[in-house]
């Protein structure tokens, strides 16, 4: 301490203060340079959402996937009990699968093996995701690609949006939507396992590990945007149960086949009204049923549920008086006018009901359609 005071006496207080100030400035400048240096930081990884969901994709596609059910008659044996009398021993076969609505006009795409037992079916029903149910008609099939189309007469249908399967890559997330084992609509998630792999042919096909169980066949394989990329078709399994190897027909191929089959089916089939009529009214029956003798036409006895006539508003008890420009005299008039139209075409039908005439525009459907096989 004394030496420091001696130094101060020697150099003087002003000089000492200047030295201290200089030292302070140098230290400040050094600290400032250190603060500008970039220190190494730990690498940050992109945040992964813990609430990742594909619910919107499922909501988009689910209304377009339907359940297909049918009970068909199988003639097991025929026994002649007596002269002129034959007894048929009948068995019932049930079929269950899924399908995809691909047109607002009522076309449904599915697998052929889902519907190949339906050609002799007496009760074929399609049930939509919203619970509505309606009869269906098989109108075309393609054996080579295991595809078939059905037609239903129903309003407010939601066709599925079509995706581009050519953009798929191995590892992409996909979802299989269908009706497995008759438990209602279900969704399973998986990835694209392989592309262009078919155990039976060289046809392009998609392999996935999304669960495909009995009842899923004919359902939709969708991408993460909810768009159709395939029609679920089969599994590879030694046990018969799903083992992580499922196959789907690419959407590009399926839609191309559908468009060809639908065009051929419409061209080959006549329109269908879906009514059963009774007798042609004459003066006597008109007076008996309606209290006057001048009503002419065909009395409607029944209407096919979900058929063209039902959708147009034709009811049992109505009298069909005119079809198109032709006055109805007998059932032949109705048949000829309807057969001159194609499924999906419109025809005006006039009916008499409760003392008044009503003109009902009617979109014709498919009846017992001719099967189109390319």
The verdict on whether 89 is a catalytic residue reads no
User: Residue 226: what pLDDT?
Assistant: 96
User: Residue 229: what pLDDT?
Assistant: 96
The verdict on whether 113 is a catalytic residue reads yes
Arithmetic mean of pLDDT, 66-83: 58
Write the DSSP symbol of residue 43. Answer: P
289-319 pLDDT tens trace: 888 888 999 999 999 877 889 989 999 999 9
User: Residue 102: what pLDDT?
Assistant: 97
- pLDDT grade, residue 269 (50/70/90)? confident
Q: pTM for the complete prediction?
A: 0.72
Which range among 11-25, 154-168, 276-290 shows the weakest confidence by mean pLDDT? 11-25
109-140 pLDDT tens trace: 999 888 876 555 556 789 999 999 988 888 88
Instruction: Tell me if domain 165-268 and domain 275-363 are identical in fold.
Output: no
Nearest to 192 by CA among 223, 164, 215: 223
User: Residue 56: what pLDDT?
Assistant: 94
More confident residue, 28 or 349: 349
196 with 204: CB under 8 angstroms? Answer: yes
Nearest to 185 by CA among 93, 103, 94, 68: 68
User: Residue 333: what pLDDT?
Assistant: 82
Domain 165-268 has CATH 2.40.10.10: yes
| Mean confidence (pLDDT) of the chain | 79
Which sequence spans correspond to the domains of the chain?
66-151, 165-268, 275-363
Given 72, 95, 103, 113, the catalytic residue: 113
Given 142, 146, 165, 304, the catalytic residue: 146
User: Residue 270: what pLDDT?
Assistant: 86
Nearest to 97 by CA among 155, 162, 177, 211: 177
Distance, CA of 232 to chain centre: 12
Q: Which fold has domain 66-151?
A: Thrombin, subunit H (2.40.10)
- Per CATH, the number for 275-363 is 2.30.42.10
User: Residue 231: what pLDDT?
Assistant: 95
pLDDT at 93 over 80: no
User: How far is it, in rounded angstroms, from Cα 195 to Cα 21?
Assistant: 78
213-253 pLDDT tens trace: 878 899 999 999 999 999 998 877 655 566 678 899 999 99
More confident residue, 189 or 18: 189
At residue 186, φ and ψ (nearest 5 deg) are -135, 155
Strands, sheet with 65-82, edge to edge from the N-terminal-most edge strand: 133-135, 121-127, 65-82, 85-101, 107-111, 147-151, 137-142
- pLDDT grade, residue 81 (50/70/90)? very low
Given 67, 217, 234, 251, the catalytic residue: 217
163-219 pLDDT tens trace: 999 899 999 999 999 998 778 899 999 999 998 755 555 467 899 988 888 788 999
User: Residue 16: what pLDDT?
Assistant: 54
Give me the sign of the Cα torsion angle 320, 324, 330, 332: negative
306 with 134: CB under 8 angstroms? Answer: yes
């Amino acid at each position: 301490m004394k030496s420091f005071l001696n130094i101060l006496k020697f150099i003087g207080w002003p000089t000492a203060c200047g030295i201290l100030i200089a030292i302070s400035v140098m230290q400040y400048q050094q600290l400032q340079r250190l603060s500008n240096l970039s220190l190494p930081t730990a690498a940050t990884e992109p945040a992964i959402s813990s609430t990742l969901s594909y619910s919107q994709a499922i909501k988009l596609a689910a209304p377009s996937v339907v359940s297909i059910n049918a009970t068909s008659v199988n003639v097991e044996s025929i026994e002649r009990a007596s002269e002129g009398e034959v007894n048929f021993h009948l068995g019932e076969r049930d079929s269950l699968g899924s399908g995809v609505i691909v047109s607002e006009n009522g076309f449904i795409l599915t697998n052929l093996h889902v519907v190949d037992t339906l050609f002799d079916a007496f009760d074929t029903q399609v049930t939509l995701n919203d619970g509505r149910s309606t009869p269906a008609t098989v109108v075309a099939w393609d054996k080579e690609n295991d595809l078939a189309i059905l037609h239903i007469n129903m309003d407010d249908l939601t066709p599925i949006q079509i995706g581009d399967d050519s953009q798929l890559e191995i590892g992409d997330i996909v979802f299989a939507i269908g009706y497995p084992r008759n438990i209602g609509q279900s969704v399973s998630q998986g990835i694209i396992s392989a592309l262009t792999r078919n155990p039976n042919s060289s046809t392009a096909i998609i392999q996935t590990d999304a669960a495909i169980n009995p009842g899923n066949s004919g359902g939709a394989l969708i991408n993460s945007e909810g768009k159709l990329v395939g029609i679920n078709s089969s599994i590879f399994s030694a046990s018969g149960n799903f083992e992580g190897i499922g196959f789907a027909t690419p959407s590009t191929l399926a839609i191309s086949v559908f468009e060809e089959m639908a065009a051929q089916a419409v061209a080959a089939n006549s329109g269908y009204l879906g009514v059963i009529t009774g007798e042609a009214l004459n003066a006597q029956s008109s007076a008996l049923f309606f209290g006057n003798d001048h009503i002419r036409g065909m009395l409607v006895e029944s209407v096919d549920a979900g058929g063209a006539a039902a959708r147009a508003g034709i009811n049992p008890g109505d009298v069909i008086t005119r079809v198109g420009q032709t006055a109805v005299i007998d059932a032949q008039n109705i048949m000829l006018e309807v057969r001159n139209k194609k499924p999906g075409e419109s025809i005006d039908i006039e009916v008499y009901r409760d003392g008044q005439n009503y003109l009902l525009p009617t979109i014709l459907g498919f009846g017992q359609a001719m099967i189109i096989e390319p």
